[in-house]
Amino acid sequence: MASSFKIRKIAELLDARVVCGEQFVDNEINYAFASDLMSDVLTLESEQLVLITGLTNMQTVRTAEMADINCVVFVRGKKVTPEMIEVADENNTVLIECQYSMFRTIGVLFESGVNPIY
């Protein structure tokens, strides 16, 4: 059985800020995947996935939209833009800004029992 986590819990574990999609923080996440390569993310088939990335641009939010990813964590204090929030809001995507590095973010989630896809 895969363990699942509420998005709210993910944000808490990472001491991170939910910048949009507040109303969906009680939705569940089953897996995490980390990448800055959107063409790689677009090959994933898993559902209820949190994407952890350092790539802060429209492509990240569009990729989440097309791949049905409902939560994206931006690491290392990267700032989400108003245009990104607009598209994310339209698609009910939760965007989270996290100060931790990619390595630490992944480490914390993995240690807490969030499942990898592979």
Written as one letter, the residue type at 2 is A
Contacts 24+ apart (CB under 8 A), 72-79: 72/96, 73/10, 73/14, 73/16, 73/98, 73/105, 74/98, 75/100, 75/101, 75/102, 75/105, 76/100, 76/101, 76/102, 78/54
Among 6, 8, 9, 62, which residue sits at the site for other proteins (rule: CB under 8 A)? 62
Among 36, 48, 76, 99, which residue sits at the site for other proteins (rule: CB under 8 A)? 36
Residues 5-24 within binding reach of other proteins (CB under 8 A): none
Q: Name the residue nearer to other proteins (CB basis): 60 or 105.
A: 60
Say if CB 41 and CB 67 are below 8 A apart. yes
**Minimal distance in Å, beta carbon 90 to other proteins?**
8
Task: Rule CB under 8 A: say whether 43 interacts with other proteins.
Answer: yes
Question: What residues make contact with other proteins under the rule CB under 8 A?
Answer: 36-40, 42-43, 55, 57-60, 62-63, 65-68, 83, 87
